[in-house]
Structure 1
Amino acid sequence: MKKHYFELIRQGMKGAAAARVVGVSTSCGSVWFLDAGGMLVPDPGPVSPRFLTQDDRIAIADGLQAKLSVKAIAGSIGKSFQTVYREIERNSKPDGRYQPWWAHNQALLRRKRPKQNKIRDNAVLRKAVRDKLTEDWSPQQIARYLARTFATDATMRACPETIYRGLFAGLLGRKEGKLRTGRTRRKKQRRGVAHPNKIKNMRLIHERPVEVNERRSPGHWEGDLIIGGGQRAAIGTLVERNTRYLRLIHLPHGWKAPQLRNALVTQTADLPPELRQTLTWDQGRELTLHQDIEALTGFRIYFCDPHSPWQRGTNENTNGLLRQYFPKGTDLSRHSLHDLREVAARLNRRPRIVLGDRTPAEAMRDWLTGSLAS
């Protein structure tokens, strides 16, 4: 009923008429209207699926009323819980209540264009920003400084994006040398837009067979790179999920996709076919040629979700152990193939509590012996 009332108001109907249509008194409608802020901005509809709709905000309010967790609410509307947290914090009323029509109205007001250009229209703000740029402050540091120094004056606030836009529009003096990066052209912003170079034909981890998740038998590996100082060199790490057996991949010619493909193919060729079943990797560009690797090795490759290292937990743990031998910030190019094999052998001879205090080498040998016997 309330939703229908606000839909009619947004369509231009008078409050009294809208109240009659939905079957409430004019005074009841007036209370609703005032509680929503006393003004409704026309809603053109979401310009992108990443924006919350009025229905999403109603669902959030209903979930809060029912005392559901933010994660449960987010799942019910198909959004991330971070989005819902930000929505509640940003669009709640001054008294702390989350009112969906008020919240939607505030979002629409912020979305209205064109917006006032703070840098152009406020000489005091412009000078404050220019002075800090001259002192080699970054736009992020300037934005935080303004928020602290002018906590009660909204006209003296500017987010980093506003400062970047003002700088590249020429409102803050000459661009050359203003940023520590020395960049003189605007870097494209791609919020909500898929990267054009996304790895094609990825098979995601959620499609991986159940037996891999349950670690029933060897042959299923997790892979990653550890990067050296200055990103000048890298080492590939392969860890077998069942036995924790480690194989290090020597990358003397770099770790771009062709070099990694060639190294994986040649340095896993000695593994028996039954030990080359699946390989799980993150979505790094170094595995762009995953289909070539599959064809040449027999591995079936699966990709983790973005920013989800826990989906390769065995590999992440092993990479931590490897930093004892390959500390962060050091030059990894000085390590030969022999060095890598020696380090891998050391870890494979180290007992693991998860293996009942057996070593990965023993666990792998036991499985191979049993496999040959059968």
Structure 2
Amino acid sequence: MPRWAHNKLPSSVQKRYFELVREGHKGAAAARMVGVSTSCGSLWFIDAGRMVLADAPVSARFLTQDDRIAIADGIHAKVGVKEIAASIGKSFQTVYREIQRNSKSDGRYQPWWAHNQALLRRGRSKEEKIRGHEPLRTVVRDKLTEKWSPQQISRFLTRAYPDLSAMQVCAESIYKALYAGLLGCRSGKLRTGRSRRKPHRRGVAIPNKIKNMKLLDQRPAEVTERQVPGHWEGDLIIGQYGAPGGATAIGTLVERVTKFLILVHLPDGYKAPQLRDALIAQTRHLPESWRKTLTWDQGREMSMHEQTAAATGFDIYFCDPHSPWQRGLNENTNGLIRQYFPKHTDLSIHTAQDLQTVAAQLNQRPRLALGDRTPAEAMRALLTNGSTS
């Protein structure tokens, strides 16, 4: 667009001209009302490309027309991008992206053209697949009710309907549909029970009084390779504090190769003697070759680890303080278990049979790491083949 005198008018004049056009005034009338010629208004309109009206209010977290005018004025005045961003209360990355994305083909940043382009991109070309397809919605809802994760559901749909794209959907679309209310009440649908991510922070390690601990650097290399079964990770999930019978817990043991889960019933508490006795009694059914190592955190409940190891045959190793990623499989499995045993609830009300039922259900869920086999299938195959060494 030629840089003639009428383009040197303040941006407020152009802003008022486009406001009048959006209100329904003819271009010539809008030009007269702001004090410019019809040809000047026409050039402004042509440079803007077209006039797009927002079909719904634009969230304040997005750039407004006024923001884009301020960006254009800043560029014209040769102000730095960071200074422009500070003046409109946005990050400089947002302003950089805006200039790169919405500049015209000749490299100029025209605020009304930019705003029109942003509004045009807002529209969704088609209805969400889950919203418009009742059979798909039903299958997804049923699997969520069975406590499957969106990732597991997405993979299941791909396997079950390989030639029917209408019945396939990605995990992110399932999350969005759930949060949009398309799959019923979202409370309790996801295993965490939360609708947003929970921030975490690392604690400060304190000296531990457990004697004769063997740390991970002493653990055999075959444990890390996950090729030989019989290596387990263990932990406790803690229930309600202040319960009538005291704090309650459930022990969790996960086999590293098959992801097979054992839930340890702790009806008498979870101090070291009770955990020792429960581990001895409730792992006795495992073949000896499946009791190679057990990796635990440095919780005091494992302070009798030498007695436990002597009675069970496990070699017990300890993670570094505040390093849950060193037992990542166990931490992930604890998240699955929390679907059944939410935090801050009394875990003493659950019987040993209840725990066996939950473990059986989790061991029947397909896992991506197992090629979508279940832990029960993986363990059965290894026991049948005799792959224990």
Q: TM-score range by the shorter chain?
A: 0.3 to 0.5
Q: Scaled by the length of structure 1, what TM-score is found?
A: 0.47
Higher RCO structure, 1 or 2 (CA under 8 Å, sep 6+): 2
